[in-house]
Amino acid sequence: MIARELQSPLWRILLDLGRQRIPPRSLTPGDAKALIELAWHNVELTVNADRPSGGAFLRLRNLAAIESLFATGMRVGELVRLNVADWNEQERTFLINGKGSRQRIGFYPTNGR
């Protein structure tokens, strides 16, 4: 009985102090540059409005997504949750809905490539 009385009340708590947290994967600067250059190389800047689902439209959409991610620092999940209602044309901003119901304003650059 004496051994039990001397036992720590914290003996059932597990502490995992040795576990390393692995940061999320990210692109190297060279890979990011290559991705953007490839997206620009494959896009046609004129899109047939009669066929918005054609290959040229999809390449232009992908370029817009890639440029938006790099220009604003958005996460992919934040990009796919964007709605047309989030866009403010006069200020060239959009509302980004982030993790944990947090919101922030994203500014879209006014100068073109």
Q: Where are the beta strands (DSSP E) in the chain?
A: 87-88, 93-97, 103-107
Domain with residues 28-107, CATH architecture: Orthogonal Bundle (1.10)
Residue 51: predicted pLDDT = 64
Q: Taking 70 as the threshold, does the pLDDT of residue 24 lie above it?
A: yes
d(CA 38, CA 30): 12
Where are the chain's structural domains?
28-107
Tell me, what's the pLDDT at 34?
Answer: 92
108/65 Cα distance (integer angstroms): 12
Q: Which residue has the higher pLDDT, 65 or 45?
A: 65
Q: For 87-111, what is each residue's pLDDT tens digit?
A: 999 998 989 998 888 999 988 766 6
Single-letter code of the amino acid located at 42: N
Encoded tokens for 78: 């934040």
Q: How confident is the model at residue 113, as a pLDDT?
A: 47
**Cα 36 off chain centre by:** 15
